[in-house]
Amino acid sequence: MSEELLKIEGLSINYKVYEDFFKVVHNASFRVGQGEKIGLIGESGCGKTTTMRAIMRALADNALITQGQILFQGKDIIKMSPDEIQKIRRKSISMIFQDPTAALNPVFKIGEQLTDIIRYSSQAAGKHLTKEEMKEQAVEALKNVALPDPERILQNYPIQLSGGMRQRVCIAAALISSGDLLIADEPGTSLDVTIEDQILRLLAGLVEKRRTSIILISHALGAVKGMVDRVYVMYAGSMVEVAKTDDLFSEPLHPYTVDLFKTVPKITGGGVPEPIPGHIPDYLNPPMGCRYYPRCKHAMPICDKEVPTFRHQGKDHEVACFLFEDVN
Amino acid sequence: MAEEILVVKSLKKHFKTSMGTVKAVDDVSFSINAGETFGLVGESGSGKSTTAFTIMGIYPPTGGDITFQGKPLIGGVKSRPRSLKKDMQMVFQDPGSSLNPRRSIGDILELPLSVHQLFEGKRKERIDDILNMVGLPTDFVDRFPRQLGGGEKQLVAISRAIATEPAFIALDEPSSALDVSMQAKIINTLLNIQKEYHISYLFITHNLSLMRNVAQNVGIMYLGKLLEVAPSSEFFTNPLHPYTKMLISSIPVITSEEEALKPKKIVSTGEIPSPVNVPKGCAFNTRCNECMENCKSMEPQMIEVEEGHWVKCHPFTPKA
């Protein structure tokens, strides 16, 4: 096993709403090794983005971390002072957001936005760059993401670029300050299929070259399959299954994973995708036991009362479901 | 041969802007058989929605003919008889903005019935019926759109479209804004309705794998032009146009059988050019990996290669 970079233990996050709490993330655990590529899949509203935002300490104001720890290189991010977390954002972890249009400031030129990032991240690394050096780095960053004519793009406002180009700018910006970990939150979802393909290939190449770890969140299960080493499946705020990518796609175990794969239409034809009956639970009163219990075809009496823990199933394959016995 | 319900012939829709004329739909021809689904695929900005809007009459066409149930459709929605609108309905992409936020679901569903004077005296029953058809509880009539989730809103939009018992529905990306699981539910509902009431669909999406499973015939659009039309099984097993091959090879898949079906990896490059300056010759020549000399100067013709399989690409054009 490679060295651990990030370890989330028993994380729970609630959102304060009027007179009550949305209990969204519930006892989630997660591990990223040095240089490892991780996928995170699940329906929308399953707490994927909330978990990732917790790593960046960029949660909304009404979010409360009720328990658990997020260890980054051995230090708990939740307990860090604002200065420390700022330093981490500037040089260690960065995030690509789902919507590149909302992630870029519309009233500043791309060049200004990139040089700001370069200035602060180089300061965090203890270097002081001249204006020319910063511009050089900005051009270099745009070249890395295969944008044509970087000098001109530095002078453009975000509105002058297409969606694919904006997402490339966001990737360039994220790569400047991502020393150790890059979090990509559905980087291709708002783009066309050919552009999404280009963006994901680009990300894979850059991550490979720089040996950064990456967490890729996506609805496009196929995209995840082609790119990552290990996949976590998240349902209603908890991890329900984790396995090596090939194992998970060839032999999904958790009923939710099986059902989720069935919803994907196949290009070989063979009929209409099958929906999962029901919806994700009401986070005000989530089920006591396994949160998938109300929708599960294999539900047993115990599922309603107890929360299943992770059970080992072969190498690196763990599943949180009472159907399986721990084989270790 | 099944009966054709809708025939579109060299349809054109151009918009004049300060930067020049945008040929949003340029010379598009296809036909839809009764009770079948025709799928229109393409990247954003390729003119799929504009095609649907023009057929529905939301935009009056710049040129070309549309024939519906044997009768020609002339001009925009204002010049069409009301009885025709009863037979042609549309479901929009974003259910959040296509339902009136100040009307209850009951009001929303009653409107098409009262406009077309249908089910006089039995409207309440009809509304319950159509809610049942899409699998929504009947007590939704007293709810407002904001109280529903995205998928439920889309189901309401679908039940509004089927309220008048139409023969044809244009579906503009009905499931794109939704989650995979909800998407599967919407698609299943639509297909069940189609089977039961023999409705024809024009189905617009950019999700090719979904298209494979719902449409009998597929057309692929690029910069306002139709590049290839084929029966959907043929479309995936024997794609001819380089753009189709590029699209299919970009689909991310999850099983190895699917992987085997995909054409050899064609690395997609470039982005869609601006529709104001469509490249000369073949519109796809800037991104095509099989581009030849005459692709840049001459626009290829639509050729029927096999029965029902049309392609617009120079290598398939017979030598004159």
Q: pLDDT tens digits, residue range A164-184?
A: 788 889 988 988 887 789 999
The pLDDT assigned to B217 comes to 93
**What distance in Å separates the CA atoms of residue B11 and residue B53, rounded to the nearest whole number?**
12
How many domains, in total, are found in chain A?
1
CB-based contact B261 A268, cutoff 8 Å: yes
Q: Answer whether A5's CB lies under 8 Å from A72's CB.
A: yes
Confidence band for A68, pLDDT divided at 50, 70 and 90? very high
Q: Which residues of B touch A167 (CB under 8 A)?
A: none
Q: Which residues of A touch B182 (CB under 8 A)?
A: 275
Contacts of B138 (CB under 8 A, 6+ apart): B127, B128, B131, B132
pLDDT mean across residues, chain A: 88
- Nearest Cα to Cα of residue B39 among B218, B227, B199: B218
The pLDDT assigned to A1 comes to 46
Angle CA B34–B35–B40, to nearest 5: 85
Range A285-298 average pLDDT: 89
At the second CATH level, the architecture of B4-246 is: 3-Layer(aba) Sandwich (3.40)
CB-based contact B213 A273, cutoff 8 Å: yes
Do the bridges between strand A37-41 and strand A230-235 make them parallel or antiparallel, or are there none, so unpaired?
A: parallel
Confidence band for A218, pLDDT divided at 50, 70 and 90? confident
Q: Is the pLDDT of residue A109 over 90?
A: yes
Q: Which residues of A touch B236 (CB under 8 A)?
A: 267-269
Q: Answer whether A245's CB lies under 8 Å from A225's CB.
A: yes
| Residue located via tokens 């690029």 | B222
According to DSSP, residue A224 is labeled H
CB-based contact A192 B261, cutoff 8 Å: no
* A155 is a domain residue: no
Q: Answer whether A54's CB lies under 8 Å from A13's CB.
A: yes
Q: Is the ipTM of this complex over 0.90?
A: no
* A272 is a domain residue: yes
The pLDDT assigned to A328 comes to 66
**Residue A28 DSSP SS3:** strand
Q: Which of A44, A224, A265 sits opposite B213 (nearest CB)?
A: A265
Q: Which of A197, A260, A273 sits opposite B187 (nearest CB)?
A: A273
Ranking A60-64, A272-276, B146-150 by mean pLDDT, the lowest is A272-276
**A65 CB within 8 Å of a chain B CB:** no
CB-based contact A225 B254, cutoff 8 Å: yes
> B242 CA to chain A: closest CA distance, Å?
13
Closest residue in A to B247 (Cα–Cα): A194
Q: Which of B188, B253, B272 sits opposite A272 (nearest CB)?
A: B188
Range A68-89 average pLDDT: 91
What is the CATH number for A47? 3.40.50.300
- Which class for B44: exposed (0-12), middle (13-18), buried (19 or more C-beta within 10 A)? middle
**What distance in Å separates the CA atoms of residue A296 and residue B26, rounded to the nearest whole number?**
49
The CB-side HSE value for A171 (13 A sphere, CA atoms) comes to: 29
State pTM to two decimals. Answer: 0.81
Confidence band for A190, pLDDT divided at 50, 70 and 90? low
Per-residue pLDDT of chain B (320 residues; tens, 9 = 90+): 568 999 999 999 998 888 788 888 988 999 999 999 999 998 877 888 899 999 999 889 999 999 999 888 888 888 888 888 899 999 988 888 889 999 999 999 999 999 999 998 899 999 999 999 998 888 899 999 988 888 889 999 999 999 999 999 999 988 877 777 788 888 999 999 999 999 999 999 888 888 888 999 999 999 889 999 999 888 888 899 999 988 888 887 877 778 777 777 777 777 777 777 788 888 888 888 888 888 888 888 888 988 889 999 988 877 65
> A225 CA to chain B: closest CA distance, Å?
7
Q: What is the pLDDT of residues A303-317, one digit of tens each?
A: 988 889 899 988 889
Q: Is the pLDDT of residue A291 over 80?
A: yes
**What distance in Å separates the CA atoms of residue A215 and residue A266, rounded to the nearest whole number?**
25
| More confidently predicted of B313 and A45 | B313
Q: What is the pLDDT of residues A15-44, one digit of tens each?
A: 998 888 899 998 999 899 988 999 999 887
**What distance in Å separates the CA atoms of residue B162 and residue B160, rounded to the nearest whole number?**
6
Q: Which of B191, B250, B262 sits opposite A272 (nearest CB)?
A: B191
Q: Which residues of A touch B46 (CB under 8 A)?
A: none
The pLDDT assigned to A2 comes to 58
CB-based contact B209 A265, cutoff 8 Å: yes
CB-based contact B212 A267, cutoff 8 Å: yes
Closest residue in A to B270 (Cα–Cα): A195
- Nearest Cα to Cα of residue A77 among A6, A16, A28: A6
The pLDDT assigned to B101 comes to 92
**What distance in Å separates the CA atoms of residue A247 and residue A261, rounded to the nearest whole number?**
13
Q: Answer whether A1's CB lies under 8 Å from A10's CB.
A: no
> B180 CA to chain A: closest CA distance, Å?
6
- Which of A148-162, A268-282, B105-119 has the highest mean predicted lDDT (pLDDT)? B105-119
> Which amino acid type is present at position B191?
L
**What distance in Å separates the CA atoms of residue B276 and residue B45, rounded to the nearest whole number?**
11
- Determine the structural domain holding residue A290 and report its residue range: 4-81+229-319
* A92 is a domain residue: no
Q: What share of chain A in percent tops pLDDT 70?
A: 98
* A98 is a domain residue: no
Do the bridges between strand A75-76 and strand A93-96 make them parallel or antiparallel, or are there none, so unpaired?
A: unpaired
The torsion of the CA quartet A86, A89, A91, A97, rounded to 10 degrees, works out to -160
Domain ranges of chain B: 4-246
CA distances to A99, A100, B203 from A190, rounded to whole Å, are 7, 8, 20
> Which amino acid type is present at position A96?
I
| A 205-264 → B contacts, CB under 8 A | 219-226, 249, 259-261, 263-264
The pLDDT assigned to A183 comes to 92
Phi, psi of B7 (to 5 degrees): -120, 125
Q: Which of A165, A193, A201 sits opposite B251 (nearest CB)?
A: A193
Q: Tally Cβ neighbours within 10 Å of residue A100.
A: 24
H-run or E-run covering B229: strand B225-231
**A148 CB within 8 Å of a chain B CB:** no
Range A192-203 average pLDDT: 80
* A115 is a domain residue: no
